Structure 1
Amino acid sequence: MNYKSLSTVGAVPKRKFKIKPLKDVARLPYTTGNRGGSLIHRLSHICRTVSLSKQYRERSIMRICLILALPGILSVAACEESVIDQNTTSRFVTPSSSGEIDVPATGAGGSIIFGGEGVVYRAGADSPTGIVAVAGIIPGTTVSAIPDSGSSIYSGTFELVKVDGFFVNDNQNVVGFPTLRSGDISLTADFDDQTLKGRADDLTVDGSFTGNTLAGSVEYEGISGTLRGLIGADKAVGAFHGNDSDEIYAGGFYVTPTPD
């Protein structure tokens, strides 16, 4: 597997949230007086401090969530984890026939294309909502008819981009660190059961097909994702994406039957 670390992506204005200024503390239930002001001041300071060590930031986030659970503090800003979760996602897109992606227009990504057919993927700014990882099959990609029975081993390449290490910077933008990964993959097509399955390192493919239409799921680094694509006797092309609160990813594969 190949690993390639890239510069950060993001620095996108996150969905706006507002912390009550200290002068308004008296209007918040159960937070009047110096004690309430101190809590809100600490919450504001923690939410805006992103240069902390990971261990300290985790303790800070826990402390924020505990504060939010207190009566009268529920109307204060959500903790950093919630902000990140709401502003990072993944999805399928439909590229142009030449393999261009509109959103995100720039970022980290790539493509697997042969003869104008294949899959494109990218991660980048999804202004104004955050950071997104996307993948899609190039329109016009075709495959031949599938066999009626039997099985076949398909071999080829997979590629993906993942983004993790999210934090909220001093400008209240969600920022992440992208990494490109690629490698060889072998998938087994069972034409009786209509399944396409296999794995390569941290990527697992669990697909099924009806006719030439491929669907199913993937898992990358333990994070579940969704698969779609095409399969025929000549090749299989798949696009996938997935996300959780700590990581987003998108990518694809292009495989052909291995000669007997």
Structure 2
Amino acid sequence: MFKIALSLLAVVSLSACGGSAISNALGGARIQVPAPTPPPAGLTPTEITSPAGGGFTFGISSGGSNLGGVINAGAQGYAQLLPTTVNQPPLTGGTVMNGTYSLDSLTLVPPGSPPDPSDVQLRNQPISLTASFTDKTLTGTAGSLAVNTTITNGILGGTVTYNGVSTSNMQGVISDDRAIGAFVIQSNTEGVIVAGGFDVSE
């Protein structure tokens, strides 16, 4: 059974989070996304849901412990998928999916200075992503966000870039007509934390 770890907390790698896992359920025909692990103490994350089920949840905590070697005065990014089940995507072909990305961003000036919750900025913007099931990719840009992900058995990996800062600390799922992703970007040198996700459909 193919699995990747689910939890996306600050700069902790996906495989080291010890949270829930996305798995291929029902003999590999469908992909199951379990309930997310709890957010950092004191954080009430934003939830973006869909009538089709699932979605993502995200936020930036301005306090708490330095989990996973995170510096920046304890600020933590949090982003996870909400529970849902999607079909496996086809092996060939492609499509264009449209929807929205939503994220919180925080820039600490200077880097490492104490975070101020009032400095967290929320952004929602339309995005169009191109899925190539033949090449096993999902890519696209909108505003300051660039998605450059790969598809493995219906599970997304790869990188997300925001304002020139990239991360591989992302995960998501894709079917023939919908893709959902969640990501956390953190640069200790730039003093940047971004947490968010996207939900697009055909």
Q: Aligned to 2:200, what secondary structure does the other structure show?
A: strand
Aligned length: 164
Instruction: Give the Å deviation of 1:100.
Output: 7.5
Instruction: Give the Å deviation of 1:251.
Output: 0.5
In 2: Cα distance, 1:200 partner to 1:225 partner: 17
Aligned residue number for residue 117 of structure 1? 54
1:159 matched to 2:63: no
User: What stretches of structure 2 of length at least 5 have no aligned partner?
Assistant: 1-9, 21-32, 67-73
Aligned residue number for residue 38 of structure 2? 101
Instruction: Give the Å deviation of 1:142.
Output: 1.6
Residues 98/147 of structure 1: CA separation in 2 closer, same or farther (3 Å cut): closer
Aligned positions of 1:237-256 closer than 5 A: 237-244=180-187, 245=189, 246-256=191-201
Structure whose CA Rg is larger:
1
Higher helix share: 1
Higher strand share: 2
Q: Aligned to 1:106, what secondary structure does the other structure show?
A: coil
Aligned positions of 1:109-188 closer than 5 A: 109-115=45-51, 116-129=53-66, 130-138=74-82, 140-166=83-109, 174-176=114-116, 177-188=119-130
Which amino acid in the other structure matches residue 200 of structure 2?
Answer: V
1:53-82 per-position Cα deviation (integer Å, ceiling 9, x unaligned): xxxxxxxxxxxxxxxxxxxxxxxxxxxxxx
User: What stretches of structure 1 of length at least 5 have no aligned partner?
Assistant: 1-88
1:175-199 per-position Cα deviation (integer Å, ceiling 9, x unaligned): 2421111100000000110100001
Give 1:218's match in structure 2, choosing from 144, 160, 165. 160
Instruction: Give the Å deviation of 1:97.
Output: 6.5
Instruction: Give the Å deviation of 1:137.
Output: 1.0
Which amino acid in the other structure matches residue 60 of structure 2?
Answer: A
Aligned residue number for residue 136 of structure 2? 194
TM-score (norm 1): 0.57
Give 1:205's match in structure 2, choosing from 130, 142, 147. 147
Whether the 8 Å CA contact 1:144–1:234 is kept in 2: the answer is no
Q: Aligned to 1:155, what secondary structure does the other structure show?
A: strand
